[in-house]
A and B are shown apart, each in its own frame.
Chain A
Amino acid sequence: MTYTVQVKVMPLKELLDPQGKAVMGGLSNLGLETIKDVRIGKHITLQVDAADEASAKEQAATAAKKLLANPVMEYFEISVSE
């Protein structure tokens, strides 16, 4: 069975995100003053062959820990769909 696994990678909350800050400036210029903060990360989609959902998730977590995210600067979240 092939599962589609979504990996969300975001900069750690305590770190400055210059990209988010720049986009925030753009949104303010648009007059969208209700938007108070922007943080920008990555959304990665994986196609994973696995026996079940838990195993698909586990393989994605290994990929995220080893390569997709760097824990010194980022955290990640994983969700699975068929």
Chain B
Amino acid sequence: MKFGVVVFPGSNCDRDMQDALQNDLKQNVTMLWHKDKDLSTFTTEDCIVLPGGFSYGDYLRCGAIARFSPMMQSVIEFANAGGKVLGVCNGFQILCESQLLPGVLLRNANQQFICKNVYIKGVGSDKALSIPIAHGEGRYHADADTLASLEKNNQIIYRYCDAQGNITPAANPNGATKNIAGICNEGRNVFGMMPHPERACSDTLGNTDGRLIFKALVMNGIAQAKLASLV
């Protein structure tokens, strides 16, 4: 499988993503410009990544304008055809604005931009992973019906927790509903998360928990994330 990382004006984690996938995880990566729309070299076995940053300056709403870029039209088609799509931070916001994922990311409850290491826990796993967050709008929100269907279909993949893996209000950095840090779609081929696994893939940076996330979600497939996160 190979990866395509979309570069929007204002993306600032695109190179981190490329570096982590290429050098830490030894994957084949192509950078994709937002004004292009050719995804013909990608098959549904491949993965398109929407990186973090501030696409279009976060104007109007985070991710709202990126959703209408030429490349996103192709990414939406790719996702609807069953292709894998991963959105991190601003990428998660873009996926919600594109309605590839339900819900929305609101301004953090404490009114602050939060940049720190937090713990998150994968569905079906007891292991708390240490992953950095860096966002001002990361408070996941969806209406009650949507939340119920996310729970029912096991679509809430990561929740904020403490170092021991307890999901508590105190471990919730941004006020996200039900401590939600990452979700997938019903088809389990589109995944979005606020924390940055690409910043936690290298021994040099002192944290490789992010590798487990890439392996669990993307390389083994989101459908098998439950099993893989037990490793």
Q: How many residues of A contact B (CB 8 A)?
A: 13
Q: Number of contacts between A and B (CB, 8 Å)? A: 35
Within 8 A of A (CB), among B98-145: 103-104, 106-111, 141-143
Shortest distance between the CB of B94 and any CB in chain A (Å):
12
Residues of A within 8 A of B106 (CB): 15-16, 73
Q: Mark A56-82, 1 if CB is under 8 A from B, else 0.
A: 000000000001101011000000000
Within 8 A of B (CB), among A16-66: 16-19, 21-22, 42
- A interface residues (Cβ-Cβ under 8 A, vs B): 15-19, 21-22, 42, 67-68, 70, 72-73
Contact present for A72 and B108 (CB under 8 Å): no
Contact present for A70 and B141 (CB under 8 Å): no
Shortest distance between the CB of B64 and any CB in chain A (Å):
6
Q: A42 CA to B60 CA in the complex, in Å?
A: 9
Q: A19 CA to B110 CA in the complex, in Å?
A: 10
16 contacts between A and B (CB under 8 A): A15-B106, A16-B109, A16-B175, A18-B107, A18-B108, A18-B109, A18-B110, A18-B111, A19-B107, A21-B111, A67-B68, A68-B60, A70-B61, A72-B141, A72-B142, A72-B143
Contact A72 B111, CB 8 Å, known A15-B141, A16-B175, A67-B68: no
Shortest distance between the CB of A17 and any CB in chain B (Å):
8
Shortest distance between the CB of A47 and any CB in chain B (Å):
18
